[in-house]
Amino acid sequence: MTSTIIVTGTDTEVGKTVFAAAIASVLGARYWKPVQSGLDGGGDASAVAALGVRADRILPEAYRLTTPCSPHLSAELDGVEIDPERLALPSIPGALVVEGAGGALVPLTRRLLYVELFARWGQPVVVVARTSLGTINHSLLTIEALRARAVPILGVAFNGEANEDSEAVIAKIGRVKRLGRLPHLAQLTPETLRAAFLDGFRLEDFK
């Protein structure tokens, strides 16, 4: 099994947190969100806990910022300076799932993008993409940005209703593995999410 998996997206609200919760739960991995911007509802750590990730497997964020916006601005509004040295991957036993914020080019500071942090980490990235209109452009741009910085790409995980052509085109043109798809779930619970993940993905692809 890949010991660390980074989860990024083509945009905000594409389903990164749901996917991260699914894979962390199924693999029995620990979950870490390095920087949380926006604390309403407890943030993404609370969301993954509600979706089946055990509380003792959720690592504390390096930064918890108040405003739900880009981390660089949220930190400035809170009077906080994000120190990249605090964003080193945790040294822990077993598997780790790390969730970024928004898309790969979201700035952590006015000098550091998430994709540059991914490059420092050197661990495989899963790109979470919608299946709706616009996903081909957003997905291929994200893949190009990762490749330009030599970030290893494990593949693309789709979220939404099936769109065979878009999913196939992204995989072929982007030269990436099509990992699978999570459908929209009428009831999103730990049980339904786990079942959907096991139905839509192959665990061997995460090894």
How many helices (H) does the chain have, and how many strands (E)? Answer: 7, 8
Classify 147 in phi/psi space as left (phi over 0), alpha (psi -120 to 50) or beta: alpha
pLDDT of residue 41: 82
Query: For residue range 189-203, what is the model confidence (pLDDT) as tens digits?
Result: 999 999 999 999 999
Residue ranges of E strands in 33-71:
35-37, 63-65
Looking up residue 152, the CATH number of its domain turns out to be: 3.40.50.300
Res. 207 pLDDT band, cuts 50 70 90: confident
Is 33 known to be catalytic? yes
Domain residues for the domain of 65 are: 4-206
Query: For residue range 145-187, what is the model confidence (pLDDT) as tens digits?
Result: 999 999 999 999 999 999 999 999 999 999 999 999 999 999 9
Q: How far is CA 23 from CA 162, 174, 198, in A?
A: 20, 23, 9
Query: For residue range 74-126, what is the model confidence (pLDDT) as tens digits?
Result: 999 999 999 999 999 999 999 999 999 989 999 999 999 999 999 999 999 99
pLDDT of residue 102: 86
pLDDT of residue 24: 97
Query: For residue range 42-85, what is the model confidence (pLDDT) as tens digits?
Result: 899 999 999 999 999 999 999 999 999 999 999 999 999 999 99
Q: Are 63 and 71 in contact (CB under 8 A)?
A: yes
pLDDT of residue 1: 46
Q: How many domains does the chain have?
A: 1
Of 33, 172, 177, 207, the active-site residue reads 33
Using alpha carbons, select from 112, 95, 109 the residue that is nearest to residue 207.
Answer: 95
Residue with tokens 């700035």: 107
pLDDT at 25 over 50: yes
Buried b (16+ CB within 10 A) or exposed e, 11-32: beebbbbbbbbbbbbbbebbbb
Q: What is the mean pLDDT of residues 7-18?
A: 94
Enumerate residues 6+ apart whose C-beta is below 8 A from 193: 18, 21, 22, 25, 51, 52, 182, 185
